Structure 1
């Protein structure tokens, strides 16, 4: 059957499946979608509209194939600095109450998923493209474990099998396998000139992972029950260290001395046993149990925060650590076997070789099967350096990028093969430390590209902070012109206030307000889709693209902080000698206007000139004061940013 379009293969399969569903009479259902999904990028008030579902999805696919130009002009090689990234958790980002019954159902009465699916993510792509997004970063999309799962659906980070996709991300009525549906998403993104980056977790797995039965030796095992003798507790938990031990641990790690790191107590180590044989591993309910040759029953322990070693977080009941080394003296989970690896683990013969080999096959599988463009390694910096290097060698391709969930900005990240890191903009932007970040860039440049964002899926939402929506727009505008990767966390553009997870930067009161079982990371949730700033994002990104070569310049010589006597008036200049530059200035007081002089921190080759704000067309005079220092006088509304072109 001719489709009348030049379809990529998997996307064509999806289109044909929709056609069959329509012919069978399955199209006559009530199906509501946010009007923003149809009015690409629009800001302001929104609402939901009733559509015929098959026509809606087919029209969205046609809109993708009609996209002019055929793609984003990324440079060859590492494209990361040029990316405008949209971070999606598919299950949440495109969830909606499609039948209007007030509940976001995994499967509604008409047979459609209301939680997010690959099909809806395809339909969502034109909305993203209209905002200037050219790369999509997906939180894990692999099969989710059930043992110890939080909420209704469990965490995408509790990976049951890294080679299997999460069945909840498929649209059952298509009648297509998950792999075809995800491949269609990648094909659609590529057609629009968008890169696709997947996030992987390769240090932990779900406690009910498929691998447990196949390879029990890839896991730590502990006694099912134990008397509380030896001065310890009869319930398993993270190891405890004395203050003296903690002081020594911190000192040795700071000095990078990994010889003879203090081990946990003998009682704690006594929890751990050798693995049972595969035939003696059985699934009891949702939990793997094993029986040792001496008749003792064993189980897979929960993971916990391994660093710092006195972290007080409760155990992570849905995941466990993979056993990366086989040294008999280190058959336990602790900081010195999970992150700050004791030197003896690096000795020849103690790698868990088959496990390392299997982990090294994960990324190439997604490259070859789906054509992804990069990966984010969750806690990648905590993997053994040798394992990480081995995985990168296997996955090395022209234009394929590695991103690291690392909050530090260090040149060593690029030396290890990473193109970008998360960084700490999310932690600094709403505090005085944001100026410190700007001044560091002025002094040192940027050693590795980082995510310029005020929020991630683990942090409070920007719109929930002081300033709310004004702060969100302020942060977006400032970040667009930093020598960094503009990163938009899903829901940010909608002024969403409810966090996806509460992993970083929450107060005790906020943790009580957001119980884990109700968090979108673990349970069904849909954004309100009532208001957005898509038009503003689109306008800012267009301006960023106009000066892209200047914006992505990470050299300290291209970046200067502006000075003002008003603490809430901050800004910076992007500079290139003998050419055009950009001046970005903003008011981080979200209640009061600010007015005053702003000085350049350098005086080279600047003449008097009139500067015009790109957004309001307001003009200011760039002049020289008595000391021949360039300055301009500006008045800013609460939360307002202005961006000017300047000639040098």
Structure 2
């Protein structure tokens, strides 16, 4: 039998299976199907045997690899968090516990969860960044995985010591991808080609790829405020004159300096030699100590955004000159490279001299992961701010390595124009704004989101929540909202259903407070909860596996079976016959062919029952969120009805 990386992992686990391990617990949810009849929420296992048996199950249940992304169902996971668990139950999560086992998430542990996700219908694993990231100037206890410091290395904290010295971290990731592929699941990865860690490994080799300020100016560094422009305004040409004339803008630009290698080449060469002699030294600390300079932190590309500067990341200098329009209109006398709203939006305000060596590096990231790990797709974080030629270069190189490589655009507006632009650039799917529209029942936005998206040029994520938004269960309607939207998302034509890690467990606390938040987002948990005010994007965080998630998970399994049974009916555009009644609270997905009708009826009203006036007499209720089977639906109720022609 061929020795694959997954089989190698399995055999290593078997080799240590008889090792004495008295205290290792896992959540029932990870292997819910096998342990659903167990009353306890956590179960005691031999870790080597447990993970080996999960791999055996995967190897014994191969499925064809997903070929048509119209059938995709995405599960977004931040590996560090998705399988974080207090394995020795000492009431604290440690990187390595006293028994030598990893308690934060790893690829090995995530493999065990794959069969459960597959049973929910998930067939694409969407990974938030897994690359090495810097802990310098970090946010929270662990820092953000988006502060990447080395694109071509996986973060060492994802290594699971359960394999001793028998498998490398790269092999553990390769085994994870292989496990996904055996189950027919694709793997896509978040990459960040617009920003980099303030302590990136590239500082020593390419200081001119970044923007620099005096170290004394770091304290109090923030994006300039421009009077007369509304808060959170998109940067457009009509605002540039006003932007550059503003007092705070001039003060801001005055802080920038030439890169340290240009300011003092001899001193820089000596610093590089010192670093090469001892690469354990911190690059940014060395530069700060030697030059009294630092890289400038990044900030939002929206004018007068309330967000502070992002202390852990900086922007890449994509052009070696200023934006062409700034030069032509002589908007500033500043000659040194600087960060401003227009330079951030290099897609709209490009220069004339591309930073070619940087572009080559950025466009080589995905080929590396394709060739080494057989990666299937990617989302480009802040891709909307990349110059069009760079975007095309990234996409073209990746698809040259793998023709069916799949690209997701971070485009948060699902309109005909935005999807046409994304498609023209080579993207296959956009994120869209389902996380905003789907649950806004009082504004009657729910139906419009689904109905308007049917004919867009690209597919859109049907997402009730993401890692940047509040949790769906924390919205008005709570569990009923979660049930309604999660099911609707799976049947919406031209949409790709999307589940955020923890959503299936009815997790209440947001992973980040980035988008569509309010004053209550940070306080979803009881103040006595160990994770009160913690954010998984930055902190140690264990999902609440003691929640009453079982009924919801059972529903997900049931819906997956219905979708599989009617797959051919649901995927053909000619079968779509949505019904739009005058009452916008009534959502009616209708699919039909010569033999049958399938209706997904939803009442998107928080308070009132709705009667659906459909001319159907004999029908079968395949699923209902309530005990009723009539065509009068209670508030936030949903029914799936089948009728034979």
TM bin, normalised by shorter chain, reads 0.7 to 0.9
Counterpart in 2 of 1:624? none
Instruction: Select the structure with the greater relative contact order (CA < 8 A; seq sep ≥ 6).
Output: 1
Partner of 2:46: 52
- Out of 368, 372, 376, the residue aligned to residue 373 of structure 1 is 376
Alignment CA distance shift 1:608-1:59 (3 Å): closer
1:9 match: 4
Q: How does 1:428-467 map to 2 (within 5 A)?
A: 428-431=437-440, 432-441=444-453, 445-467=455-477
1:110-121, aligned counterparts within 5 Å? 110-121=99-110
Q: Which runs of 5+ in 1 are unaligned?
A: 1-5, 227-232, 600-606, 622-632
Find the counterpart in structure 1 of residue 561 from structure 2.
542
The partner residue of 2:393 within 390, 395, 400 is 390
Determine helix, strand or coil for the equivalent of 1:386: helix
Q: What do you get for the CA RMSD once the two structures are aligned?
A: 3.2
Cα distance in 1, alignment partners of residues 22 and 633 from structure 2: 51
1:14 is displaced (CA, Å) by 1.4
In the alignment, does 2:555 pair up with 1:560? no
Contact 2:149 / 2:200 at 8 angstroms: preserved in 1?
A: yes
Alpha-carbon distance in structure 1 between the residues aligned to 2:445 and 2:8: 50
Query: What CA deviation, in whole Å up to 9, does each residue of 1:526-562 have, x standing for no partner?
Result: 112233222211211221233334434467x824234
Higher strand share goes to which structure? 1
Which residue of 623, 635, 638 maps to 1:615? 623
Q: 1:196 and 2:196 equivalent? A: no
Q: Name the residue aligned to 1:31.
A: 24
C-alpha deviations, 1:241-261, integer Å up to 9, x for none?
23279999856369xxx9998
* Distance in 2 separating the partners of 1:516 and 1:331: 42
Work out which of the residue numbers 636, 639, 645 in structure 2 matches 1:642.
639
The equivalent of 1:230 in structure 2 is none
Distance verdict in 2 for CA 1:526–1:534, change over 3 Å? same
What TM-score results when the alignment is normalised by the length of structure 2? 0.85
Residue 408 of structure 2 is aligned to residue 416 of structure 1: no
C-alpha distance after superposition, 1:592-647 (max 9, x if no partner): 67252435xxxxxxx754222112599999xxxxxxxxxxx712244321112345
Indicate conservation of the 8 Å contact 2:215/2:288, yes or no: no
Instruction: Give the number of the structure whose residues are more often helix, by fraction.
Output: 2
**1:265-280 mapped onto 2 (5 Å cutoff):** 265-277=249-261, 278-279=268-269, 280=271
Q: How has the CA–CA distance of structure 1 residues 425 and 351 changed in structure 2, closer, same or farther, with 3 Å as cutoff?
A: same
User: What's the secondary structure of 1:508's corresponding residue?
Assistant: coil
Q: Is the 8 A contact 2:609 2:632 kept in 1?
A: yes
In 2, distance between residues paired with 1:199 and 1:563?
40
1:271-420 matched pairs, under 5 angstroms? 271-277=255-261, 278-279=268-269, 280=271, 287-290=284-287, 297-306=292-301, 308-327=302-321, 329=335, 331-341=337-347, 343=349, 345-347=350-352, 350-396=353-399, 397-409=402-414, 410-420=419-429
In structure 2, stretches of 5+ residues that fail to align are 262-267, 323-334, 526-530
Alignment of 1:561-640 (within 5 A): 561-563=579-581, 565=583, 568=585, 570-576=586-592, 578=594, 580-589=596-605, 594-599=609-614, 609-615=617-623, 634-640=631-637
Separation (CA, whole Å) in 2 of partners of 1:286 and 1:641: 56
Task: Using the TM superposition, give the Cα deviation of residue 132 of structure 1 relative to its aligned residue in structure 2, in angstroms.
Answer: 1.7
Report how far residue 391 of structure 1 moved: 0.8
Distance 1:403 1:386, change over 3 A: same
TM-score using structure 1 length: 0.85
- Contact 1:446–1:554 (Cα < 8 Å) also in 2: no
Following the alignment from structure 2 to structure 1, what is the Cα–Cα distance between the partners of residues 54 and 620? 39
Distance 1:341 1:47, change over 3 A: closer
- How many residue pairs align between the two structures? 597
Contact residue 289 and residue 298 of structure 1 kept, 8 A: no
Residue in structure 2 matched with residue 3 of structure 1 by the alignment: none
The CA distance in 2 between the partners of 1:249 and 1:494, in whole Å, is: 36
Contact 1:403 1:420 in 2 (8 A): yes
Tell me the equivalent position of 1:520.
536
- Give the deviation of 1:267 after TM superposition: 2.8
Instruction: Name which of structure 1's ranges 82-91 and 245-254 shifts more when overlaid on structure 2.
Output: 245-254
C-alpha contact (below 8 Å) 2:79/2:110 kept by paired residues: yes
